[in-house]
Amino acid sequence: MTGEEIGTRDHRPGDPLIVFQGVRKIYGQGQAAMEALRGIDLSIGEGEFVAIMGPSGSGKSTCMNLLGCLDTPTAGAYRFKGIEVGRLARNQRALLRRHFLGFVFQGYNLLSRTTALENVEMPLIYRGTPAAERQTRAVQALDSVGLKGWESHTPGELSGGQQQRVAIARAIVTNPAVLLADEPTGNLDTARSKEIMEVLLSLNRNRGITIIMVTHEQDMAAYAGRIIHFLDGLVDSDQQNGRAF
């Protein structure tokens, strides 16, 4: 299966980009079994900005692992662009991640001895993109997150907010359909957090990237157009956010 086949197979215009149908996830066996997700029904359309909230142990991190194709459901179906992810082989899930998903984490996960430009180029190196094209696209990605002129700086020469911008640029340099952000402002102060949320909001509105973000912070969730609360492995509430920026 190629990236192009994933992008077109069984998916029609107007269909949800992501569908969870009765998704369960159980870790362990017998008396040690723990049901992290207890039958989730969920759909997310192209271009949405969704915030996922909930207390520790509510299932939101498990949900993100499934969305990111880092794990598969124990039962139920997860469909991405019409493809049932649970039926894909491991290498096919890796292909889906490579072509359609970008990841941003609480920790910036940058290579400390390489420049911002080199950090952003990394996903393109794995794709085999020619050097000249890699550099052009990395410069454009850094510019899109407000870091034009900072290409040659290493992470040690950047603030926390700037490092997270580099991480976002690295996530979007492959032009993903979906950006999965796990507590992207968790290590930042209020001012830097708002700056990062403005970057994400701009990527959603101006580039049409679907953003799914896990956060504990209500102020950060307020930037999303839709807020989903998890509780005890189930969706407790799913509401449009009238206060979205």
Predicted pLDDT of residue 15: 86
> Does some domain include residue 1?
no
> Does some domain include residue 77?
no
> Does some domain include residue 107?
yes
pLDDT tens profile 84-136: 999 999 999 999 998 999 999 999 999 999 999 999 999 999 888 999 999 99
Predicted pLDDT of residue 11: 61
pTM over 0.75: yes
Q: Give the domain CATH number at 179.
A: 3.40.50.300
Range of the domain at 201: 46-71+90-240
3-state secondary structure 7-62: HHCCCCCCCCCEEEEEEEEEECCHHHCEEEEEEEEEEECCCCEEEEECCCCCCHHH
> Does some domain include residue 158?
yes
> Does some domain include residue 23?
no
Predicted pLDDT of residue 238: 96
Domain count, the chain: 1
pLDDT tens profile 50-86: 999 999 999 999 999 999 999 999 999 999 999 999 9
Predicted pLDDT of residue 243: 61
> Does some domain include residue 109?
yes
> Does some domain include residue 34?
no
- Which of 182, 27, 168, 5 has its CA nearest to residue 80? 5
pLDDT tens profile 2-55: 555 555 456 666 789 999 999 999 999 888 899 999 999 999 999 999 999 999
> Does some domain include residue 35?
no
Confidence at 232, pLDDT banded by 50, 70, 90: very high
